[in-house]
Amino acid sequence: MGIHSRLLPILAVLSLIVASGTVSYTIAQVSEQEARQIFEQLGCTSCHGSIAPSWEEMINLFQDWATRYDSIDQAVVSEVKGVAASSYAQLMQTMASFVGASPDDPGMKKLEEFFLQVFQEAGGAPPPAETTPPAETTPEEQTTPTQQPQPPEEGITFGEAAVIATLIIVVILVLAYVLSRS
């Protein structure tokens, strides 16, 4: 049994591991159809579509915000009127309370993920990681922070990397098979 024949099962297992990572990443993303169904089931349409933007208008808003704001939190603070929210997470907590759901409700979490996904796919940056509030300062110590524009994130998504890795492994498997036959 040559070295190529011994490599084939190992490479096959590696390709399955990478492929399963790709599948689980794809499954983790919330589809528009699923998000819209949750939106309707939770009763969000009692406001959205009459006194608040409709489903389609909201998707358009999130996509537009991604082109005009460095972060989703900045967009929420600047654009959302009638709801006191200083971040996207806080806005979604408030929306949950409007329909009588917990902010930790799986449906609310999926909606939060979906609209964030819409924002990011349109070019927006993810919200910053949660941080602890700064220590209190005296009025003499307080300064007005200036907003620095953030460079756009570079690179590829995990899903794209997993697909590329899977393709590379498939090519290696084919080469190993061909070499083992010669």
In a domain, 144, yes or no: no
Q: Is residue 52 part of a domain?
A: yes
pLDDT of res. 64: 92
pLDDT above 70 for 177: yes
Q: Of all residues in the chain, what percent carry a pLDDT higher than 70?
A: 64
3-state secondary structure the chain: CCHHHHHHHHHHHHHHHHHHHHHHHHHHCCCHHHHHHHHHHCCHHHCECCCECCHHHHHHHHHHHHHHCCEHHHHHHHHCCCCCCCCHHHHHHHHHHHCCCCCCCHHHHHHHHHHHHHHHHCCCECCCCCCCCCCCCCCCCCCCCCCCCCCCCCCCCHHHHHHHHHHHHHHHHHHHHHHHHC
Range of the domain at 79: 3-128+157-181
- Dist. CA 126–CA 81, nearest whole Å: 22
Residue 155: per-residue pLDDT:
61
Which pTM does this prediction carry? Answer: 0.56
- Classify residue 37: in a domain, yes or no: yes
Domain annotation covers residue 48: yes
Q: How many domains does the chain have?
A: 1
93-152: pLDDT as tens digits? 999 999 999 889 999 999 999 999 898 888 866 655 554 555 555 555 555 444 544 444
Residues 6+ positions from 18 with CB-CB distance below 8 Å: 162, 165, 166, 169
Cα–Cα distance, 66 to 79 (Å, whole number): 12
> Does residue 104 sit within a domain?
yes
